[in-house]
Structures are given as C-alpha cells and as structure tokens.
Amino acid sequence: MNAQLSRFHSWSLFSLLSLLVLVMTALILALNPDLVEATRSAIRATARTSFALFLAAFTASAFAVLVPSSFSKTLVRERRFIGLAFAFSHLVHALLIYTYGQLNPEFWPGRSTVGNIPGSVGYLFIVLMTLTSFKATTRLIGRRAWRTIHVSGIWVLAAVFTYSNFKRIPLSAWYVVPFGIMCAAIAIRVIGKVAQTQKRSHPRTYA
C-alpha cells in the first residue's frame, strides 16, 4: 500500500482517487437497468468513498504521532490531496443527489428544512476548505484564518458524519458500524493531539 502511495503523490494521487470514484459511479449507473435505483446505489457508494477518504485525512496526523511509520508519514504528506479527493467524491455525491431529486419528484418534498441543515453546513465547510487548500488563497487569507477554517471544518464534518450514521441506526443496524468507526476515529484524533502536545512539551521523553 505504501509503495502504491509512493508512486502516486500530490496531484497524481488526487487524479487517481478521483478517477476511481468516477469509474465506480459510471459502472453502477451503467450496470443497473433502472436509472432511479442506479442513482440511489451510486449515492450510497459515493457516500462510502467520501467517508473513507475523510477518515484517511482526519486521522492522518494522529497516526503519524501514535504509530509512526513511512505509511503514516505518507498519509500526512498527502493529506491535502486526499482531502481534495474527498471534496471531489462529495461533489459527485451531491450531483447524484440532485439527479435523484429530478428523477424522483417526491424526494425533496419528503425532506424537511431542519433535516437538510447538517448536510448544508457540511457542504459549506467543504467548499471553504477546498477554496483555501491552495497556496495562493492561504497567503491571501493568512495562516491563522486558514487554520480556523480547516480545524473548524474538519470537526464539523466529523460531527456531520457521526450524526448522519447515528440517525440511520433505527433504519438499519448496519449503521452501527460506520457510527462506531467514526467514534473511534474521533478518539484516535483526540489521543493523537494530546500525545503531540505532550511530545512538544517534553521532547526529551520521546527522544
């Protein structure tokens, strides 16, 4: 796995991950004769790819501290491009949701304004984080503003993923799995942050 990541880095890694999302989506749409059901399946599939990519970006720095290795260091180094691939996957996810709403006129009326708030806030932060993931925009807004947007954004997205899976548990017990994974990821990130702070405070202990 690490060798594969070494071959693909920065924009080539982003391109590979984005291409895989597109190929997967195209295959799902092409192989299902019912376009409505195919779109629903593609929505679920892109939700999973977005979840996986988010987890990789969300836990990268924690694993680099807790389980230092060439692989965890590679994840940290490529975190920006994994995050951009996540944003691309979720863009495809949003386009599929819009398409499904056009194919199924009962979809949008069946959703409440309150129910749409978490997803809307999540997408707002995805847009902000994507726009500020380039050197030019980082220089424009300043390092402190960049950090505020990205730290706030990643925790907002973590909360959205956690809540989205939790509220679906009554519909299917299988949602306990991604909910549990998200809770574990949050714990890992917090523990990693604490370990990183202690390491900076007591560098000789970790030498």
CB 60 within 8 A of CB 75: yes
What's the pLDDT at 63? 94
User: Domain extents for the chain?
Assistant: 2-206
Radius of gyration of the chain (CA): 19
What's the pLDDT at 6? 58
Q: State both tokens at 115.
A: 């129910």
How many secondary structure helices (H) and strands (E) does the chain include? Answer: 9, 0
List, for the chain, all residue ranges whose pLDDT scores fall below the cut of 70: 1-6, 202-207
What's the pLDDT at 17? 97
What's the pLDDT at 196? 85
Neighbours of 146 (CB within 10 A): 17
At 184, give phi and psi (nearest 5°).
-65, -40
What's the pLDDT at 207? 47
